[in-house]
A and B are shown apart, each in its own frame.
Chain A
């Protein structure tokens, strides 16, 4: 019985931690596979988190808020695309700029809107994304812990399948993968490299924005600058871990989530140093990489600006 209970908690912790990470990682897949390095994911998540919370407070509807959070991320994706695709700027520098600009802007607007405070007011229950199986099972029961998750958490898993399909079974998917490998070859074959890359980078911003909005609309119910700390970089790590494939990124995110669950179960006393326990995700990642995954093959044209003129 105890094993079942702990298993339920493990799955619950995994489903708490994974969805925002997974959404951002799927975004990162789009960008990286099309050949644009996007380390601005973190910043896009932050602005998504703020806009999500803020629009929920304004309109009272979580779905509109979730969408707006994604659009805010997409806006920064557009900025990143303009810099990297049209102007062939250094992608790392542009991404870093996004990471400074987006959180800064989020805090600035927050202070303007909410009485000079860096936190938004708290959202009430009706402004939060709905849960599946809410109230169906008794609180604290195994099935409640396993099944009663936010609808978007399920959606994010479904999205993996959708994006897998887009990547590998559609013409657009083939083009985006090809653009990430050899933009010159694509251009000679009549593919509009700029258009594909623009679309992919904006999509990556959209999904990262969704990931950020998930944090403020589901994990907690308020925006604070500390709600996004490093999730964006974890998402990028998950993509590399997952060999730049959406399904790979999903397994990586689930693994990170599982480690988080182990952390929760293991820190109920001080028998093992909490600092050691905090290392679990990183140790597991290193071991998994070395033993099972091996090196990821980076898309050949990733990080290289492409100019039509050359």
Chain B
């Protein structure tokens, strides 16, 4: 028995030390994120100033007059059904419309980013698109080393200070606001749900936008919230959906990657609406997916390709929002009523005109709606 208690005490000590480590690591990460954000904000300002000076750079065109655009995927690979895939679709469209040569290199591990970028540099590509913030460091390194080569990176603004990098950013809060508005109009029980993949600043933007949209459409609505704390736990996603249904939700939005598959399935089994994210997820379950909050990464890639062809490649942070169709509702609208669609069009116009400002930060959100988003710190 003595032994057991000793072992138990040791276990306790271990658990506590693990917690301590966890917290410390979280702190460091938080600090890093904060620094990165303030840097990004500074950079954005200076970039805006430069942009207003109507800066445009003429792309280097290779000797044979052919324009080559390369894309380096993150570890998801080119057929990930998300970012990498939509980026590639955008480039393929560019190849068809504009006659540019496009190519991609897949990264199997983080260690592949730099070699893949260098391969394109060696082959004198006119633009190299790096897909995802995971390539931020590799992009910085390559862009510094080869200042004459043009780079573009998706979902990262930390490289905006480099003169040869275009940072393609998306206002996911606006897309989330739109689906939130749809959810608020659609719910009959005045209860909707939100499943989050991970509690980070970027992910919270989905939550702020969504809750704001729901409340603007339906002030009486209650938003049930759940942090799955994983992008790949389908069982948790499904149980989260069941739990929300039990508590009365009839529309659930997920911003949780693979966990969202479980959410969608849970919604389908309980015969309620699910809302997809990033791409048009209607194909996953046409009868139960109401709509999706889309980031048009394909449009962004197409645009930069076009700019290279026209010789007016933009620099710094380029933000894709509703006004540029960079974020939007999914094109599949078969499950939306005409009134809902009309109302959404109305709201879209208001956002574009600046009459509605979609909150992206805790401060902005709470100033208008109060502390109803529960998943942030």
Contact = CB atoms under 8 A, between A and B. Distances in A.
Given A16-B235, A117-B81, A145-B246, A222 B11 contact: no
Contacts of B22: 273, 275-276, 279
Interface stretch (B144-152, B260-268, B317-325, B335-343): B260-268
Contacts of B54: none
Given A13-B239, A221-B285, A227 B258 contact: yes
Nearest to A134: B269
Contact of B262 (A220, A263, A270, A291): A220
Given A17-B239, A264-B243, A291-B8, A283 B285 contact: no
Given A118-B80, A121-B283, A260 B234 contact: no
A12 interface: yes
A143 to B, nearest CB: 12
Interface in A274-307: 274-279, 283, 286-287, 290-291
Contact of B271 (A13, A139, A141): A139
Contacts of B77: 118
A274 B239 contact: no
A205 B5 CA distance: 39
A268 B270 contact: no
B355 interface: no
Interface stretch (B44-52, B55-63, B116-124, B225-233): B225-233
A140 B258 CA distance: 24
Contacts of A158: none
Contact of A222 (B15, B79, B238, B261): B261
B278 to A, nearest CB: 13
Contact of B239 (A264, A286, A291): A264
B86 to A, nearest CB: 13
Contacts of A283: 15
Contacts of B18: 279
Contacts of B227: 267, 270, 274
Interface string A119-159: 10110010000010000000111000100000000000000
Contact of A122 (B19, B226, B231, B283): B283
Given A219-B235, A260-B239, A268-B224, A140 B245 contact: yes
Given A117-B81, A118-B79, A274-B227, A12 B242 contact: yes
A19 to B, nearest CB: 10
Contacts of A9: 239, 242-243, 246
A13 B238 CA distance: 8
A125 to B, nearest CB: 7
Nearest to A270: B375
A270 B227 CA distance: 8
A287 B11 contact: yes
Nearest to B281: A122
Contacts of A268: 224-226, 243, 374
B374 A269 contact: yes
Contacts, number: 139
A131 B232 CA distance: 24
B236 interface: yes
Q: How large is the interface on A (under 10, 10 to 19, 20 to 34, 35 or more residues)?
A: 35 or more
Contact of B236 (A121, A141, A263, A276): A263
Contacts of A226: 231-232, 257-258
Q: How large is the interface on B (under 10, 10 to 19, 20 to 34, 35 or more residues)?
A: 35 or more
B85 to A, nearest CB: 8
Contacts of B79: 111, 116-119
Interface string A215-246: 10001111010110100000000000000000
Contacts of A267: 226-229, 240
B284 interface: yes
A277 B229 CA distance: 9
Contact of A8 (B8, B234, B246): B246
Q: Which of B226, B235, B238, B285 has the most CB of A within 10 A?
A: B235
Contact of A227 (B11, B234, B243): B234
Contact of B7 (A13, A264, A265, A290): A290
A222 B225 contact: no
Interface in B205-251: 224-236, 238-240, 242-243, 245-248
Given A9-B243, A139-B270, A269-B374, A16 B229 contact: no
A219 B238 contact: yes
A276 B69 CA distance: 45
B232 A290 contact: no
A150 to B, nearest CB: 10
A149 B69 CA distance: 51
A140 B239 contact: no
Given A220-B238, A270-B377, 15 more contacts: A5-B247, A9-B243, A9-B246, A16-B238, A118-B79, A131-B269, A139-B245, A219-B265, A226-B258, A260-B235, A264-B226, A270-B376, A274-B229, A278-B229, A286-B14
10 contacts: A9-B243, A16-B242, A122-B285, A227-B234, A260-B239, A265-B243, A270-B377, A273-B23, A273-B26, A291-B4
Considering the complex of A and B, which 8 residue pairs feature the smallest CB-CB distances, nearest first?
A13-B239, A269-B374, A274-B229, A226-B258, A226-B232, A17-B235, A264-B239, A140-B246
Interface of A: 5, 8-9, 12-13, 16-17, 111, 116-119, 121-122, 125, 131, 139-141, 145, 215, 219-222, 224, 226-227, 229, 260-261, 263-265, 267-270, 273-279, 283, 286-287, 290-291
